[in-house]
Amino acid sequence: MFSLTEEQIAFIENDIKVRGITSPDLSIDLLDHICCLIENKLDEYRNFESVYQETILLFGKNGLKEIQNETNRLLTFKHYYIMNSTMKISGYISSLMILFGAFFKLNHWPGASILMVTGVFFFSVLFLPLLFILKFKSSAENNRNIVLSSIAFIASLVISIGILFKIMHWPNARLLIIIGCVLLVLGYLPIYLISIYKNTTNKINATATVIMIIAGAGLFITESNTGISRQVSDSFWRGVTENEQVLNFLKNENKLRYDLLEKKLSVDSTTNKINVFRLKENSAALIEYIEKLKVYLISNTENISLEAAKNLKTDELRTSGGSEISSEILFGENNSEFSAAILKNEIEKFKSTVIGIDNSIDLSNLATSNIVVYGESIPWEKSNFEKLPIPLIIFNLNRIELAVITTENALLSKY
């Protein structure tokens, strides 16, 4: 085996520095390793220069510089591989959850919102931050690429959080999506165009990327504005508020009527006493069931305690969803206390009581028969509660409660 001369060793040491190796410890280790490799290959038929160039090629396309970069990553970023693995796993899992959540939502299957929200959450708070940190730390980039990566990260994060807000019906979702899209179009694209057209000969790919970003931003903004208008929303909630005001007014009026009737009937016929007592008992039982059902639904869809749900004002449900959860409660097989079927039976019991007292009372507001929509017969409970957000369900329950109290009031006025 041939040995290297001091001049050859000095040449290797100097060339290692020229190739970008700045770490003294790494430089010594590489010098020793390269010298050993060259000495094993040298013979009387091969010269030092050719063997050295061949040995340098063994260190990959980027040569010794890549080793220096990798060493810097390991020294300055000790948890690189753990974070890299976490980023990849969170990216795969979150994207699959979003994909399956969207598929579930299209088919109106339960669990769609949970999959979507969880997927977007992990994508926003785990995948995107880790991707940006790893990209920022991975290699020395010029200022333009750092700014480009930063804008892309912020825009993606804002858009994904905006989508999460939209899924959860939280306020300012549309504003977040628009801000993210504006950052992409007005912040990212100009820098990207300058960078890509200077450094690539493939202008078609660059143009296609720009078009896709602009089109995607336009679709995001359009989709975020597909909900009902503010005027329609305000009109609906005015109706909800007025409905509750009438409901509370009639409740108080009926209470006063009962008090007066009980005094009046204390010296009157037994039949009237029994009828008033039956009406009051059945009406109170149905209204109590409806009130408990509302509290139970709000508690589960808003993930709050029963006491907090009881004190929650209806107007605070403006941005709530919860259609999957409420449908599972009202139509699921495992809930024996609260369901649409039980509510329907309770309404029929009340109607029977009213008919038994006075069959001339109009009960059309409490009809529970099938409803024909576009030629299709739909069960009463499905038309009122299935796949509806919690605000609409509460509105329908209030409407039923108002119909009960109105019927009660009409019957009491005959005594």
State the SS3 of 306-369: HHHHHHCCHHHHCCCCCHHHHHHHHHCCCCCCCCHHHHHHHHHHHHHHHHHHCCCCCCHHHCCC
According to DSSP, the residues that pair with 373 across neighbouring strands are: 376
The 10s digit of each residue's pLDDT in 210-246 is 676 666 666 655 555 544 555 656 676 777 777 788 8
pLDDT at 388: 83
Asked which of 91-95, 107-111, 137-141 is least confident by mean pLDDT, the reply is: 137-141
Tell me the C-alpha distance between 193 and 328, whole Å. Answer: 50
| pLDDT value of residue 292 | 92
Would you call 329 exposed, middle or buried from its count of C-beta atoms within 10 A (0-12, 13-18, 19+)? buried
How many Å apart are CA 232 and CA 229, to the nearest integer? 5
Give the pLDDT score at 65.
Answer: 63
Whole-number Å distance between alpha carbons of 59 and 267: 109
142: phi > 0 → left, psi -120 to 50 → alpha, else beta; which?
beta
Tell me the mean pLDDT in the region 70-83: 64
pLDDT digits (tens, 9 = 90+) for 252-297: 888 888 888 777 766 665 556 677 788 888 888 999 999 999 999 9
More confident residue, 273 or 309: 309
Amino acid identity, position 112 = A
User: If 0-12 CB within 10 Å is exposed, 13-18 middle and 19+ buried, where does residue 43 land?
Assistant: exposed
| pTM exceeds 0.85, yes or no | no
CB contact at 8 A, 381 and 344: yes
Q: Helix or strand or coil: residue 53? A: helix
In this prediction, residue 326 carries a pLDDT of 84
